């Protein structure tokens, strides 16, 4: 069964905790942090992570879409992040960022954009706990799922098996009941779902449906 991480980017910003409290069965909360430079948008920051860590028991999966994340990752772990994701495209010091996250006590995650080949992270795989495959171009919620992401997940899953590694594979962007089985069968362990969850009337029902479809 797949793990589900509702993305609070699609929740009501004026009633964030109200929306989060309506979600039951989520394995993580996905928190997108955007700096307006690495991606053309601004979103949640350190204060949001600090507040969420005090107000919910759900583990926080913090996705940093920011330039030079190695300068900030330790602060996000201290703020309450259980997982910290950094893009290979955002820094020349990705190995340093991973080591800082690990030393701070959080799970390490490397993120790759749709146009980035898996070769960019192959050397890092033994050092990380999770790989996040972007199935949309980062920066905005509600985008259409890129079908090419499935073959990318399959290649990564095959690489994981061939090298005897145990990192999780997460996918983010355009996830719904229409494609959840396909990504799960391809090798995905964790699915981020934003508008599919928070755009519905019953958030918990949406989470449960994604899980049911991958039993």
Tell me the pLDDT of the chain (215 aa) as tens digits: 999 999 999 999 999 999 999 999 999 999 999 999 999 889 999 999 999 999 999 999 999 999 999 999 999 999 999 999 999 999 999 999 999 999 999 999 999 999 999 999 999 999 999 999 999 988 766 678 999 999 999 999 999 999 999 999 999 999 999 999 999 999 999 999 999 999 999 999 999 999 999 99
**pTM of model > 0.85:** yes
Percent of the chain at pLDDT > 70 equals 99
Rounded to 5 degrees, what angle do the CA atoms 195, 169, 213 make? 55
Nearest Cα residue to 176 out of 203, 135, 137, 206: 206
Instruction: Please report the DSSP string for 103-170 in residue order.
Output: HHTSEEEEEE-TTS-GGGTGGGGGG-SEEEEESS-TT-SSPPP-THHHHHHHHHHHHHHHTT---EEE
Catalytic residues: 32, 172
- DSSP letter at 183 equals H
CB 190 within 8 A of CB 180: no
Q: In this structure, what token pair is assigned to residue 46?
A: 């350190």
């Amino acid at each position: 069964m797949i793990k589900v991480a509702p993305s609070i980017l699609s929740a009501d910003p004026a009633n964030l905790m109200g929306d989060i409290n309506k979600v039951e069965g989520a394995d993580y909360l996905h928190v997108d942090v955007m700096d307006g430079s690495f991606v053309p948008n601004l979103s949640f920051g350190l204060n949001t992570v600090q507040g969420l860590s005090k107000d919910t028991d759900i583990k926080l999966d913090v996705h940093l879409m920011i330039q030079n994340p190695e300068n900030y990752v330790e602060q996000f772990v201290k703020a309450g992040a259980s997982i910290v994701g950094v893009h290979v495209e955002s820094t020349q010091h990705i190995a340093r960022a991973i080591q800082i996250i690990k030393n701070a006590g959080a799970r390490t995650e490397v993120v790759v954009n749709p146009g980035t080949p898996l070769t960019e992270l192959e050397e890092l795989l033994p050092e990380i706990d999770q790989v996040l495959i972007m199935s949309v171009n980062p920066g905005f919620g509600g985008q259409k799922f890129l079908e090419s992401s499935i073959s990318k997940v399959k290649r990564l899953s095959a690489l994981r098996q061939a090298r005897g590694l145990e990192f999780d594979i997460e996918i983010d962007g355009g996830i719904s009941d229409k494609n959840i089985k396909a990504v799960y069968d391809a090798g995905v362990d964790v699915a981020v779902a934003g508008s599919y969850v928070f755009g519905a009337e019953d958030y918990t029902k949406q989470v449960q449906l994604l899980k049911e479809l991958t039993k």
